[in-house]
Structures are given as C-alpha cells and as structure tokens.
C-alpha cells in the first residue's frame, strides 16, 4: 500500500469491497473549464462531446470571452440590429463567426472560427470603378462564385481604375489586403464550369498597380501582371498594422492600370478582402 500504486484515483465503497474508479466525467466542471480555456475553439467543441462534465464546462462564459476579439462589444453594436441581452458568450462567438453584413449588405465581417480573428470582405458594388455605369465597359453579373452573389465584369476599357475605402476599429494586429480577381468569365454548361477567355487582353503588356494607405500614415504599394485565366486569385496589395483597437482606422486602397496606349478587358472583379496577415497562405494564389 504505497504511494503511486495506481494510475487512476480510486476509493472504497461503503461496504469496503469494490474500488470505485474516478474518470474524466468525475472532474469538477470548474477544473475542466480552466483547462479548456487554453485550447482553440474547434478543440473545445470536440472535447464537449466527451461527457456531461466537459459539455457543461465548454459553455462557460469566461472561456468564450477569452476567444473573442478585445473590442467585441464594438463589433456587436456595429453589426447586430439589437444588442443581444440573453446570449451567452459562446452564442455571441458563434454569431460573430457567421458572415455579418453591414453598409447595406455591401460589406461583411466575420470571425475566423479557429482563432477568433477578424476578417472583412468588401463587394465590388461598394467600390468606385471608373466607367461602371457605362455598359460598353462594365456590367454586373450574378454568380454563385461570390459571397455577394454578384461581380463586376470588365469587357474593355482604356483607363482602368478601382478605388475604395473602409473605416473600422480593428483588433490590434497586422492585416493584409487583397483583391479577388479572375481573368475570363465563368459559366456552367451541362453542369460543368467553363470559362470564356475570349475578351481577356491587355494585362500582359503593363503591370497592374495596387496601393493602400491608412489614416495613421501607413502606405503600401505593389504591382504585378495579371495571369492564369479561369481561376480566382487573390492579389496582395499590402499590409498595415493596428496598435489601438479602440481607435477607428480608415484604409484607402486602389487598383489601377492607366496606360492608355492599349485597352484591357475580360476581367472579373469580385471583392476586396482584409485578413490577418498570418492567413496569407490560405489565400495563396494557385
């Protein structure tokens, strides 16, 4: 009868004959919750299926509040029609992980389910596009390939210029801005996706210039040729850093190719994305 004689805790029942094994289900919920707080949300949800103790502990408010952005109350006020009163922190986290439209549905914010980091998407309809109202140059096309269910399609133009801006209290961190583009117009025929590249021209002559600037004086510039017809690609415009999550940051961005010695066309413009910079591999061009 020495110490360390068993790998599990045991005690004797009232008649002193049978040992009672102590399992994970006998752990106090408070102890389980203290451990779960150090795990990622997907891991917490998996462990919640183990038993009743883990299921109860996995709903503790202090766990899910630690997973939310530091300025989650600001996001709730901005995105929800009514500030939720009776929702648990877990329910608030789940709602913020869904696409949450704002600015008339032209922009969406959501939390990455695994990390709780803020992501933002801006539709083509929220951008200022030179010639967008002239159907000789541009037209809006409905599609299932966009989260906004519509894209802007460029048929042909001499002066290509797209601009936009957004102002938001971002949680502290480093963010990357991308334009989601595709050369060629996709459609379905007999249930198969096909891409018409007949109008694609001019993008291999001069590079496209991407820029961004922030209200606190940050600037970024990049340029590249557009290629790979038929595939959606994320073109990196630049990065910016947010230090104070309680101060709004205004980001202005643009995409231009204004060499008027040649026309360009056959381009689909879906949206602009702002992601935490550590997610860049997720948006890697293929």
* pLDDT average, residue stretch 219-234: 94
pLDDT per residue over 259-280, tens digit each? Answer: 989 999 999 999 999 999 999 8
Q: Where are the domains of the chain?
A: 29-98, 118-284
Task: Tell me phi and psi for residue 159, to 5 degrees.
Answer: -105, 105
CATH topology for 118-284? Jelly Rolls (2.60.120)
Our CA angle for 57, 60, 61, nearest 5°, is 170
Our CA angle for 46, 51, 54, nearest 5°, is 65
* pLDDT average, residue stretch 19-30: 58
pLDDT attached to residue 28: 63
pLDDT per residue over 130-162, tens digit each? Answer: 999 999 999 999 999 999 999 999 999 999 999
pLDDT attached to residue 58: 85
Q: Between these two residues, 93 and 228, which has the higher pLDDT value? A: 93
Reference 273, options 282, 286, 261; nearest CA is 282
Are 126 and 107 spatial neighbours (Cβ–Cβ below 8 Å)? yes
Question: What is the distance between the alpha carbons of residues 15 and 223, in angstroms, rounded to a whole number?
Answer: 80
Q: Could you name the CATH architecture of 29-98?
A: Up-down Bundle (1.20)
Question: Can you tell me which residue has the tokens 């009743």?
Answer: 52
Q: State the pLDDT confidence band at 26, using cuts at 50, 70 and 90.
A: low
- Count of CB atoms situated within 10 Å of the CB of 13: 9
Cα atoms in the 13 Å half-sphere on the side-chain side of 243: 5
pLDDT attached to residue 157: 97
Task: State the chain's mean pLDDT as an integer.
Answer: 88
pLDDT per residue over 52-109, tens digit each? Answer: 878 888 888 889 999 999 999 999 999 998 777 788 999 999 999 999 999 999 999 9
């Amino acid at each position: 009868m020495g110490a360390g004689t068993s790998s599990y805790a045991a005690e004797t029942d009232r008649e002193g004959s049978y040992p009672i094994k102590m399992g994970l289900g006998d752990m106090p919920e408070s102890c389980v919750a203290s451990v779960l707080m150090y795990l990622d949300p997907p891991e917490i949800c998996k462990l919640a299926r183990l038993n009743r103790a883990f299921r109860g502990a996995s709903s503790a408010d202090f766990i899910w509040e630690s997973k939310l952005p530091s300025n989650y109350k600001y996001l709730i006020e901005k995105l929800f029609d009514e500030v939720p009163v009776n929702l648990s922190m877990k329910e608030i986290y789940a709602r913020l992980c869904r696409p949450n439209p704002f600015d008339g549905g032209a922009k969406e914010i959501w939390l990455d389910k695994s990390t709780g980091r803020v992501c933002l998407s801006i539709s083509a309809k929220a951008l200022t596009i030179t010639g967008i109202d002239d159907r000789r140059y541009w037209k809006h096309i409905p599609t299932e390939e966009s989260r906004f269910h519509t894209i802007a399609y460029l048929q042909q133009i001499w002066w290509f210029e797209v601009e936009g801006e957004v102002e938001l209290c971002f949680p502290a961190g480093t963010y990357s801005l991308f334009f989601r583009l595709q050369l060629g117009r996709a459609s379905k025929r007999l249930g198969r996706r096909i891409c018409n590249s007949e109008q694609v021209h001019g993008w291999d002559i001069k590079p496209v210039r991407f820029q961004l600037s922030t209200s606190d004086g940050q600037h970024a510039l990049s340029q590249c040729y557009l290629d790979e017809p038929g595939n959606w690609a994320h073109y990196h415009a630049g990065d910016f850093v947010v230090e104070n999550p309680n101060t709004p940051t205004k980001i202005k961005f643009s995409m231009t190719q204004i060499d008027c010695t040649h026309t360009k066309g056959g381009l689909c413009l879906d949206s602009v994305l702002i992601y935490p910079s550590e997610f860049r591999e997720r948006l890697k061009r293929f």
